[in-house]
Amino acid sequence: MTTDADQSAIDDLVSQVEAGERRLHELEDHVDSDTAAAARRQLVERFSGANCETIGSYGFPAESAEPNIENMIGTVQVPLGVVGPVNINGGALDDERYLPLATTEGALLASVNRGCSVINRAGGATARVTKSGMTRAPVFRVTDVAEALALVEWVREHGEDIQAAAEETTNHGELQDVTPYVVGNNVYLRFRYDTKDAMGMNMVTIATKAACDLVEAQTSASLVALSGNLCTDKKPAAINAVEGRGRSVTADVIIPHEVVESSLHTTPDAIAEINTRKNLIGSAKAGALGFNAHVANPVAAMFLATGQDEAQVVEGANAITTAEVTADGDLYFSVSLASLEVGTVGGGTKLPTQSEALDILGVRGGGDPAGANADALAEAIAVGSLAGELSLLAALGSRHLSSAHESLGR
């Protein structure tokens, strides 16, 4: 896509960088973003011997990606497909939707799609956000535990001041609560915010910084780090699995036993048994914080499709799958994701392909009321996860059954 004129500018830049006269991330100061990316591709190709042709064949102006990356050389293109449409009876999203998934794992969409079909046959999945709040937990150093307790008490007494300081920095965010934790001379304050349709990490970081300034100004505590890891962002941690972060969301469905038998070729009993032995007891024995089969798969694929933060797939995997036979012999099946961090504004959601994927779901941008779009996205991902879990456990169940048949036939 580069013209002759461009090519000469590119050659100049490449020479300058190789000569140490310019730095790799300064190219946008001199040329447009696409030219800068082309120059970097050429540099990288010469250094590594790689051919970066498809990386350079992206479908939108590079400047669209400026807030999202530095040192851009192009794009990675990940296959995107759809499953559904699936019927969602959610608190925020009550309709049929195609679900967009981007993945490199063959058979994933086929599996999720099968789950969606069965969900539809059962009348659709129910979904609800049961808890919500984005967190940030700075760590302060104090002299000793006497001072630590004094800080905890100060925080309890100055809730309104802290809230005012934090909320002054944001038009949308609302501070919900601050929970203190003491370990020796360390005090961690876990701030929890309603961030509406934003995933909200930037918003809560800025707001919490303002609150920390107040704490430091009025107490003897010293801020060590704006994140003291009790947030917890992008690390597997029980605090998220227990208390939630972002959205806690559950999707469930009751599937008539006839549908289980005809569509999934297994029985409610078999699925419940496999869920217990694998997802509950197996995960228990593994020391797990995730009691499910492969929730991370649809979560990662829908995160990637819709411009979410891929590193937050870590928390997205804190999910529990349950399966039981109802009094009527049908299958109750659910997935509860404790800490799904999603947004429909900001971050990667504005990128061209990602915003189109959000349009497919009908949840791009701010919701009405505020927060409704991110809730809807959370519900859609929960239903995608439900479909994925159902399909995988059913596959195990039908194999189990057929293998049982075989062995009976011997």
By beta-carbon proximity to a second copy, the closer residue of 261 and 273 is 273
30 is catalytic: no
Marked catalytic residue, from 29, 144, 160, 405: 405
Binders of a second copy among 90-109, rule CB under 8 A? 91, 97-98, 100, 102-109
Our finding on whether 65 is near a second copy (CB under 8 A) is yes
Binders of a second copy among 121-160, rule CB under 8 A? 126-128, 130-131, 137, 139, 141, 144-146, 148-149, 152
359 is catalytic: no
Q: Are 337 and 297 in contact (CB under 8 A)?
A: no
By beta-carbon proximity to a second copy, the closer residue of 8 and 130 is 130
Q: Nearest CA to 320 among 282, 353, 360, 357?
A: 282
Our finding on whether 214 is near a second copy (CB under 8 A) is no
Determine phi and psi for 206, rounding to 5 degrees.
Answer: -65, -45
Q: Shortest approach of a second copy to residue 285 CB, angstroms?
A: 5
Our finding on whether 19 is near a second copy (CB under 8 A) is no
Q: Shortest approach of a second copy to residue 169 CB, angstroms?
A: 17
Binders of a second copy among 344-383, rule CB under 8 A? 347-348, 351-354, 356-357, 359-362
Binders of a second copy among 269-328, rule CB under 8 A? 273-274, 276-297, 299-301, 303-305, 307, 309-314, 317-318, 320, 322, 324
Q: Are 112 and 121 in contact (CB under 8 A)?
A: no
Which DSSP letter does residue 345 get? B
Q: Shortest approach of a second copy to residue 308 CB, angstroms?
A: 8
Alpha-carbon distance 131 to 134, whole Å?
A: 10
The DSSP code sequence of 159-220 is HHHHHHHHHTT-SS-EEEEEEEEEETTEEEEEEEEE-TTB--HHHHHHHHHHHHHHHHHHSS
Binders of a second copy among 377-406, rule CB under 8 A? 396, 400, 403-404
Size of the site for a second copy (CB under 8 A): 163
Q: Which one of 80, 86, 189, 207 is in contact with a second copy (CB under 8 A)?
A: 80
Q: Shortest approach of a second copy to residue 298 CB, angstroms?
A: 9
Q: Which one of 31, 32, 82, 206 is in contact with a second copy (CB under 8 A)?
A: 82
Marked catalytic residue, from 34, 309, 315, 379: 309
Give residues with Cβ within 8 angstroms of 388, minimum separation 6: 108, 111, 112, 115, 293, 294, 295, 297, 298
Binders of a second copy among 161-180, rule CB under 8 A? 180
Q: Are 224 and 140 in contact (CB under 8 A)?
A: yes
Marked catalytic residue, from 11, 18, 105, 216: 105
Q: Shortest approach of a second copy to residue 91 CB, angstroms?
A: 7
Q: Are 146 and 139 in contact (CB under 8 A)?
A: no
Report the half-sphere exposure of 358 (CA within 13 A, side-chain side). 29
Binders of a second copy among 179-198, rule CB under 8 A? 180-186, 188
Q: Shortest approach of a second copy to residue 9 CB, angstroms?
A: 19
Give residues with Cβ within 8 angstroms of 309, minimum separation 6: 199, 201, 234, 303, 341, 347, 348
Per-residue binding string, a second copy, 38-57, x by CB under 8 A, is --x---x--xxxxxxxxxxx
Alpha-carbon distance 298 to 308, whole Å?
A: 13
Q: Shortest approach of a second copy to residue 52 CB, angstroms?
A: 5
Alpha-carbon distance 210 to 68, whole Å?
A: 25
Q: Are 142 and 187 in contact (CB under 8 A)?
A: yes
- Contacts for 73-77 with beta carbons within 8 Å, 24 or more apart? 73/37, 73/40, 73/41, 73/44, 74/37, 74/41
Q: Are 231 and 189 in contact (CB under 8 A)?
A: no
Q: Residue 96 pairs with which residues in a beta bridge?
A: 87
Binders of a second copy among 232-261, rule CB under 8 A? 232-239, 241-243, 248, 250-252, 254
Q: Nearest CA to 273 among 323, 329, 334?
A: 323
By beta-carbon proximity to a second copy, the closer residue of 246 and 307 is 307
Task: Give the Cβ contact number of residue 309 at 10 Å.
Answer: 19
By beta-carbon proximity to a second copy, the closer residue of 170 and 318 is 318
Q: Which one of 11, 60, 159, 177 is in contact with a second copy (CB under 8 A)?
A: 60
309 is catalytic: yes
Q: Shortest approach of a second copy to residue 307 CB, angstroms?
A: 6
Active site residues: 105, 309, 405
